[in-house]
Amino acid sequence: MNILVLNCGSSSVKYKLIDVDTKATLAEGGIEKIGLPDSFIKFKLADGSKKVVNDPIPDHHKAINDILNLLVSPEYGCIKSLKEIDAVGHRVVHGGEKFNSSVRIDNEVIEKIKECYAVAPLHNPANMIGIEAITELIPDVPQVGVFDTAFHQTMPAEAYMYALPYELYEKYAIRRYGFHGTSHRYVSRRACEFLNLDPKTQKVITCHIGNGGSITAVLNGKSVDTSMGLTPVEGLMMGTRVGDVDPGALTFIEDKEHLDSNQLSNLLNKKCGLLGVSGVSSDMRDIDAAISAGNERARLALDMYIYRIIKYVGAYVAALNGVDVIAFTGGVGENQVQLRKRVCDHLSYLGLKIDDNVNSVSRGEEKLISTPDSKVKVVVIPTDEELMIAKDTEAIVNGLQPE
Ligand SMILES: Nc1ncnc2c1ncn2[C@@H]1O[C@H](COP(=O)(O)OP(=O)(O)O)[C@@H](O)[C@H]1O
Ligand SMILES: CC(=O)OP(=O)(O)O
Ligand SMILES: [Mg+2]
Parallel/antiparallel/unpaired status of strands 87-92 and 222-226:
unpaired
Parallel/antiparallel/unpaired status of strands 222-226 and 213-219:
antiparallel
Order of strands across the sheet with 2-8?
Answer: 50-54, 40-44, 24-32, 13-19, 2-8, 87-92, 143-147, 103-104
Beta carbon of 333 within 6 Å of any ligand 1 atom: no
| pLDDT at 244 > cutoff 90 | yes
Contacts of 215 (CB under 8 A, 6+ apart): 205, 206, 207, 208, 226, 227, 235, 236, 309, 312, 313, 316
| pLDDT at 9 > cutoff 90 | no
Please choose from 36, 284, 286, 287 the residue to mutate so as to test ligand 1's pocket, defined by most ligand atoms within 8 A of CB.
Answer: 284
Beta carbon of 89 within 6 Å of any ligand 1 atom: no
Give the pLDDT mean for 193-209: 98
* DSSP class of 220: T
Length of the chain: 403
SS3 state of residue 108: helix
Q: Which atom of ligand 2 is nearest to the CA of 148?
A: 1
Distance of CA 75 from the midpoint of ligand 1 (Å): 28
Here the ipTM equals: 0.97
The band of 32, judged by pLDDT with boundaries at 50, 70 and 90, is very high
- The catalytic residue among 86, 106, 140, 148 is 148
The HSE-up count of residue 206 (CA atoms within 13 Å, CB side) is: 38
Give Cα separations from 78 to 20, 48, 82, 206, 308 (angstroms): 15, 13, 10, 34, 43
Q: Which atom of ligand 2 is nearest to the CA of 7?
A: 7
| Residue bearing the bigger pLDDT, 47 or 269 | 269
Residue 93 sits at the vertex; the CA angle it makes with 283 and 307, to the nearest 5 degrees, is 45
Tens-place pLDDT, residues 322-373? 999 999 999 999 999 999 999 999 999 999 999 999 999 999 999 999 999 9
The band of 55, judged by pLDDT with boundaries at 50, 70 and 90, is confident
Beta carbon of 11 within 6 Å of any ligand 1 atom: yes
Least confident piece of the model among 118-122, 209-213, 242-246, 252-256: 118-122
Distance of CA 120 from the midpoint of ligand 2 (Å): 10
| pLDDT at 23 > cutoff 90 | no
Tell me, yes or no, if 288 is annotated catalytic.
no
| pLDDT at 46 > cutoff 90 | no
149, 124 in Cβ contact below 8 A?
Answer: no
Tens-place pLDDT, residues 149-181? 999 999 999 999 999 999 999 999 999 999 999
The predicted pLDDT at position 10 comes to 81
Q: Which atom of ligand 1 is nearest to the CA of 212?
A: 21
Distance of CA 210 from the midpoint of ligand 2 (Å): 7
Reported pTM: 0.93
Contacts of 245 (CB under 8 A, 6+ apart): 268
Ligand in nearest proximity to the CA of 124: 2
Nearest residue to 104 via CA among 387, 401, 403, 396 = 396
Give the pLDDT mean for 233-241: 98
Q: Which residues surround ligand 3, an ion (CB under 5 A)?
A: 9, 210
Give the pLDDT mean for 24-30: 94
The 10 Å CB-count burial string (b at 16+, else e) for 301-340 is bbeebbebbeebbbebbebbeebbbbbbbbbbbbbbeebb
The predicted pLDDT at position 122 comes to 86
Distance CA 288, CA 274 (A): 11
Tens-place pLDDT, residues 345-356? 999 999 999 999
Distance of CA 180 from the midpoint of ligand 2 (Å): 6
* Chain-centroid distance, C-alpha 146: 13
DSSP state letters, 339-351? HHHHHHHTTGGGT
111, 129 in Cβ contact below 8 A?
Answer: no
Beta carbon of 124 within 6 Å of any ligand 1 atom: no
Contacts of 219 (CB under 8 A, 6+ apart): 203, 320
User: What's the chain's average pLDDT?
Assistant: 95
Distance of CA 282 from the midpoint of ligand 1 (Å): 10
